[in-house]
Structure formats: structure tokens, C-alpha cells
Structure 1
């Protein structure tokens, strides 16, 4: 017979034997607890980090980023070599990009993928070689394209017929050549949230397969454009390789047809490799991903009697996601009795959807643990919520936390390295938190936190008085 609590607990969430345990897959490898039960990241107590930098605080484990970046490069190098080709790995900067992270991944042999002019400028300012940058985006402006061509971006991934003509005009004007890939929609429906699936037909990215051949033909007519190959990205937070195998098979049909009109040297299959956010998530090992995806492409090429192209991949979340841990201070707790007769504890923290919008956007699931000490008492079904004026301001929807969790405790939410800082905002005029890197017992700010003064500095009305809307000038 079901208890009242069973009606509100998702099937995947089980009562832990110990509400202080750290599920290995969702934490950086350096995460441990000390003798007092406090969380330790890269040799530094979470309490020390919170006291030094305040909360909320996003902590990024440098070794975790470097280890994962290196693992992707080595795995795809090996898989490509085993099949007689080469592979390039681009770090997808949209997951989280700052100068320091860009330098880490380049140090580990990766290239960098950007998708706006702003991301391009961060990569350039960090010293990333322009030739090792790939530039995505479904609506690149003329100014962004001009900048990319001027600095010598290695590859622009074209997304529309309009963009092709924009690049044709730019390269003709400056008398240069630009290397491009054509993004195609394979029609594979990735098993992920609708907002994270990018290869189904009814969405904004790329050319449908039936239209892509004409786009390539047009590019081949333009003296200033060099057609380098095809690109396809099926989505994000995907487990397993079935979707990648099917997508590669469909794109290879087009690839083979295009070979009749000239070389197609490269195939970029994007990224989207999933990570663990809860203890039941089972991400595919990096070596398995690389081996099986490259083998699938090799098999597809052999079946069609065509040479295996050079391959490219764009992991982002899978490199930086598990490296991030967000620290919050608990402000209030509240036990709410539900109509079912069950009780859920609401744990309010000093951040929320301004520093982690993923739960509100996608219904994403996260984990949480008491970080300042070891908790005691039976695990209590809890929901971690933020301080914003939205009932949907949820950080962790379902979790079991120690019954004695109280105001002033430090709470840690793991796997927040990807798409948390990148999506952060100032809703309710809450400043964005600092981001700190940790390694070997040392910590340092890599992105400064905002202050209320920073927010006020953008309010022109505080400097110029009331705006005269008719004149467009300050009175």
C-alpha cells in the first residue's frame, strides 16, 4: 500500500541510507568530507570558501575540467586513429565560458566553439588562436560575421541561405576566403527535453537534409567561401550512442551525394553528451562514446564505399558540468502538509533561478547535500527553493536532506558547472555570484561577482534624471 509520501516522490528518488553521502557520479573527483563532516573541494573546506567569498558561490574544480577535456581529446584521437582518420574536439563555450576556462581547455589540446559575438570576444581575449575557433549561431549579424572573417576564425558553421549571402558579400569586399561548414537537420529526435533537442524538423537550427544539397552548391559557386563539410547536432544531455549512430547514418547519405560535386573533408557531429545530475543518472563513459560513434561513422562510410572524413565533436556540459558545485546559505525552512497527507520541507536559500535557471526552464533535476557539517536524523523529503518572487523558483525539486537542516547551514548543489552561470540573470535585481576556481588547496576568483552598485551603475535614470521621450534626451 502506498504511503502519502509515495504520491509526491518520483520513482527514481530513493531514501538514502545516509543523507550525507556523496554520490560519486555527480560530484568532482576531489569532493570529500572531512573529520567534522564538512564538504571539501580540491582540499578546501566549503565553509572556508563561503566565508572567504560569500554565498551564493559557484566553485569550479580546475582538475575536473582539465581531466575531462583531456579524456575527450585522447578518446576521440584514439578512436579516429583506430579507423584511419583524425578527430578534433571543440569545447562548446555556451556551457560556460570565461577566459580562464578557455585557457584550460586549450592547454589540454581542445579548440573552442562559440555562438555569439560576445563569446567570440571572450575567446579572443583569452588568447585562443582564431584559427582554432568554430563560430555557430542561427542569426549571426553582419557585424559578427565581419568580425569573424577579419580575425581569421577557422570555421563558420552556416545556418541559413541568408547567412551564405552575407558571407559572400563580406568575403568579396575584403578579398579573402572563409572556411565554412553547413549545419543540417538530421531529423533524429533525441531523447531529451524538447528545448534541448536540436535535430528535429520543426526548430530554428540548420538546413533540412533535402535543402542542404542546394546550400552546398551555392557555397561552391562563391569564390570567397571554402566548403569544408557538414555539421549536425542532435541535442543536449543525451545518454547512450543510438541517436548519434542514427544521425550519422542519415548525414552520411548527404555526405556521399555531395562527394560527386567535390571534396567533403570534414564531418562534425556536435556534442550533447549527458552527465549525472542525480545518483540514478548513468552517463555513457567517454571512451565508449568515442569508440562507438567513430566506429558507426566508419561502418557507414564503408557501406557506401566512400572515404572516412576528418571528424569533429563539441562537448561542453560533459567537460565543465560536473566540475561545478554551487554553495548556498540556508535562510528558512518550512514544512508544508499536502492534500495527500504527506509533508514536504521547503528549504529556502540565498540564490535561486537567477544563478540556476535550468530547473525553471527545463524541469531539470539536481541533487543537494548539507555542506557545512554532517547532518543527523532521518532523511527528510525536501525541495530547495530560491529567494525570487516566483513559485517556480526551484533549485532542487526533489531531494532527501538531513532532518536537522537549519537556517545558517551551508548547502551544496553539484553538477552546476554547465548552463548555470551561462544562463544567470539579475531577476529581482539580485547580483550574479562570483565564480571561484579551486585546485590543490588553492582558490581564486575567475569571474568577479556583481554588487548592487554594479546594478545601479547601469540605471541611466540615476545619472541623468527623467527621460524626455519626445526629445530622446534627459531633462
Structure 2
């Protein structure tokens, strides 16, 4: 198909689904110019030309505004950014600058936060299976507290304190309150059947609380729970908070953390509670359950998701008569795993014409060797879509780059922050050379071109080549 050939395919009758992309899904500073859509004062087309595709673009002003809204709703010191949603040193630094704590869930995330200059006492360590190395680093650095998830973890902390003389660590107990919420079973974490936390049923959480309170290695400062993610009804989050507050009221410590989970709109027509509404409902619920101490939250998706979008380049348009039209882009499940993992839904538009109607229906797919590499099952697209077009999927700021992989040896995309007419690369694009850096045998460069697979190294380390390509 020629580069300027249009998609063809099925065009739907006029409907709300055929309308231009909803402005409520775009980043805060998005503006339509004659040349196309700009974010942070920078044209998306210019970003793609300069930095290539796929490309993650974040509206820095929106990231900062969302952080401020969360702090205003819950109070200073009560909001920790759930860095699993999206983390790099620039994001860790931004959240810290805006007054948020950093919630990390692994040794790698802890290192990234510390490397960004975030003080250890502004970092909270999570994780359902922390090993001794992660706990050792956290205890040695003096993190704000560790959210303890199991009796095995209590054992590890006590062993490190007793045998290695590591400092006493402040802890919160993660409990499973028996209340689960979320858009998909895989992200409902607060139920009784969960890998996370100590269950309230059967007295397990109560035994853990006594153990932590009596331990010479720990200072129990409270309780933590998280009921699920992508929750669009704040009443569900409030119900989970009330369930854990009833338990927390009888436990030593004055801090109750009710996790994150506040959802975002991924498609037109979805309604999302504000941080203020979430705070009001949670505070009312925990007070009603007898809790009068501090209340903390850990938003991630609701900080980062709408601030980010992904830019792709259309490479192939395949029309199968009587079946469907496929539109393939230069990324896919390696930069957005959520559709394949959770069945998540997105929208798409062309930055050159963001106000265009989208009557064309096509399956938007990536370039990976998987039939399940689908970004949008039935995407609404402009009728004049063509090969080489720049295409954008909005609301990809959370769990896009964070879950990115090198499947099929695709280098991971770059990440760009835009603000006040300027763009800065905060994560550079991986190169094909980067993909070989961890190979223990190293690249086969010394063999030179034209060497068949099967080249080996001699006992002395010299490369012994198989016969050259093209020889008998």
C-alpha cells in the first residue's frame, strides 16, 4: 500500500462514538493549533520528528497540578506517590518537589528514588515478598516506614536487626480487609483471597499486630490497606477504608494508610471523582468506624495517567474484505501491556487533526508476533487515516512505560516532559546496542559480518568463526 493510501474499511453512521476525541481525555495544556495538537506549548508532530516514535509525552504542568490537588485534599505528609504507575528520576524528583512522599515497591524503585535525591525519610517501602537485600537497604538508609506484608518478612526484619545490628525500623501492617474493588479481577487486591497482606478473618492480622508491637526490631506506627485499582466510585474506596479503620482503631500507632486506587477516564463518558471527593468520603468513613488518627493515601494512576500520551507512527493498513481493517503501528504490547493483560480500553486520534470526526472502525494493533498484540480492539479513527500518519493514544501516563518490555527485542521508547514551550528527554530511547549489554557472551562484533551462527570462542578466548556466509 502506498504511503499516502487511505485505510478504507467500515465507516460507521454518525454517532457519539464517531465524534472527535473528547478533550477531557487530553493532557491539561493541550491546545489545537492550525498545524495540529500541541501539549505544554510544543507540537506533538515536532516531538515525533525530533525524538522518534513510539514516544511517551508527559504534560509536566498537569503532573504538578495533580500532586498539589492531592496534597490539598489529604494534607501535607499524607500523600505518597505510588511510583509503580510511572517512575524515573525526573518523576521522583517532581513528586518530592510537590510535597509528596514516594511509595516504592522494590529495591530498584528504592534506588531510583534515592538516586533522584529524595531523602530516605520521605520514602515508604512496599512489596509482598521483600528479600533481605531490599530490607537491608531500607533499614540502613532509614526509610520513613516499611509496609510489612507477611510473617516471613517480620522474621527477616528481626534477623537483620539482631544479627547485623541494623536500626529499628518503623512499620505499618498491610491487611486484607475482605473488601475488593477495581475494574478487573487482577487489580482487586483487598479481598480475603489475595497475595497481599494479613487477613482480618481468623485473627491473622491481630496476631501480626501483637508480634510487631512486641518486637525489639520494629516500631509499629499503624495499618495499611489497598482494596484495588481503577475505581470510579469513591464510595467503594470509602467502604474499604472503613473496614480497615475498625481494625486499626484497636492497634498501636496513629497512622492509617488506605492506599490508592482512584480511577481515571480512559474513554469518553466516564465520570471520575475528584481528590476532594475521595478525601471527604474516606475521612467520613474512617471517622464513622472509630478512627481519629492520621489518614494517608497513595495515588499513582490518578496523578500520572491523563498527563501522558503515546505517539506512534502508522506503518501498515490491512483491509480484509468482509472482516475488518487492521491498522498497525510501530509499538504495541511492549509499551502498553494493559489491553492484553487487563482488557483495558483506550481511544486514539490523529494529532494533525484532533477535531476530526472518527467514523472509521479498525483494530489498532502493534508490531509484535502475537495475535493478542491489540491496543484498541475497535478504534474510532478519521476516515482519511493513511500510512505514515502520526497517531496518539491518550491517558497512557500510568502503567505504560512502567510495564514496558523488550519483547521481540524492541528497544523501549523515550520519555519526554513538556512545559512552557520546551521539551526535555527524561528517559532516553533504548538502542539495539543497549539490548546486548546484559548478554554474558557479549556482542559478536569481533567476528565481523558474514559469519554464520555457531561461531564460538576458543579456550584462549579468541573467536573461532564458522564458515563465512555464501560459501559452499
Following TM superposition, by how much is the alpha carbon of 1:403 offset from its aligned partner in structure 2, in angstroms?
Answer: 1.0
1: CA distance, partners of 2:180 / 2:349: 34
Counting only pairs closer than 5 Å after superposition, residues 159-174 of structure 1 correspond to structure 2 as: 159-172=149-162, 173-174=164-165
SS in 2 for 1:461: coil
SS in 2 for 1:257: coil
Return the match for 2:192 from 196, 201, 226.
Answer: 201
Following TM superposition, by how much is the alpha carbon of 1:333 offset from its aligned partner in structure 2, in angstroms?
Answer: 1.2
Please say if 1:31 is aligned against 2:15.
no
SS in 1 for 2:250: helix
2: CA distance, partners of 1:376 / 1:34: 13
Alpha carbons 2:67, 2:303 under 8 Å: kept: yes
SS in 1 for 2:189: coil
**Structure 2 match to 1:331:** 315
**TM-score of the aligned structures, taking structure 1 as reference length:** 0.88
**TM-score of the aligned structures, taking structure 2 as reference length:** 0.88
Return the match for 1:315 from 273, 295, 299.
Answer: 299
Alpha carbons 1:16, 1:400 under 8 Å: kept: no
Residues 377/246 of structure 1: CA separation in 2 closer, same or farther (3 Å cut): closer
Following TM superposition, by how much is the alpha carbon of 1:241 offset from its aligned partner in structure 2, in angstroms?
Answer: 1.8
**Structure 2 match to 1:255:** 248
**What are the superposed Cα offsets for residues 125-177 of structure 1, whole Å, 9 maximum, x if unpaired?**
00111011110001101011001000001110000001001101112231521
SS in 2 for 1:381: strand
Alpha carbons 2:182, 2:261 under 8 Å: kept: no
Residues 453/245 of structure 1: CA separation in 2 closer, same or farther (3 Å cut): same
Residues 130/227 of structure 1: CA separation in 2 closer, same or farther (3 Å cut): same
2: CA distance, partners of 1:130 / 1:171: 18
1: CA distance, partners of 2:300 / 2:316: 35
Following TM superposition, by how much is the alpha carbon of 1:327 offset from its aligned partner in structure 2, in angstroms?
Answer: 0.4
**Structure 1 match to 2:347:** 367
SS in 2 for 1:181: strand
Following TM superposition, by how much is the alpha carbon of 1:291 offset from its aligned partner in structure 2, in angstroms?
Answer: 1.2
Alpha carbons 2:14, 2:359 under 8 Å: kept: no
Counting only pairs closer than 5 Å after superposition, residues 224-243 of structure 1 correspond to structure 2 as: 224-243=217-236
Please say if 1:285 is aligned against 2:274.
yes
Alpha carbons 1:366, 1:414 under 8 Å: kept: yes
**Structure 1 match to 2:119:** 129
**What are the superposed Cα offsets for residues 199-219 of structure 1, whole Å, 9 maximum, x if unpaired?**
112221101012001011111
**Structure 2 match to 1:387:** 367
Taking only aligned residues, the RMSD between alpha carbons, in angstroms, comes to: 2.3
Following TM superposition, by how much is the alpha carbon of 1:378 offset from its aligned partner in structure 2, in angstroms?
Answer: 6.4
Gaps of 5+ in 1: 78-85, 302-306, 469-473
**Structure 1 match to 2:128:** 138
**What are the superposed Cα offsets for residues 351-370 of structure 1, whole Å, 9 maximum, x if unpaired?**
00011111000000011001
1: CA distance, partners of 2:199 / 2:17: 50
1: CA distance, partners of 2:411 / 2:390: 19
2: CA distance, partners of 1:26 / 1:433: 22
Return the match for 2:53 from 48, 52, 55.
Answer: 55
Residues 226/466 of structure 1: CA separation in 2 closer, same or farther (3 Å cut): farther
Residues 250/335 of structure 1: CA separation in 2 closer, same or farther (3 Å cut): same
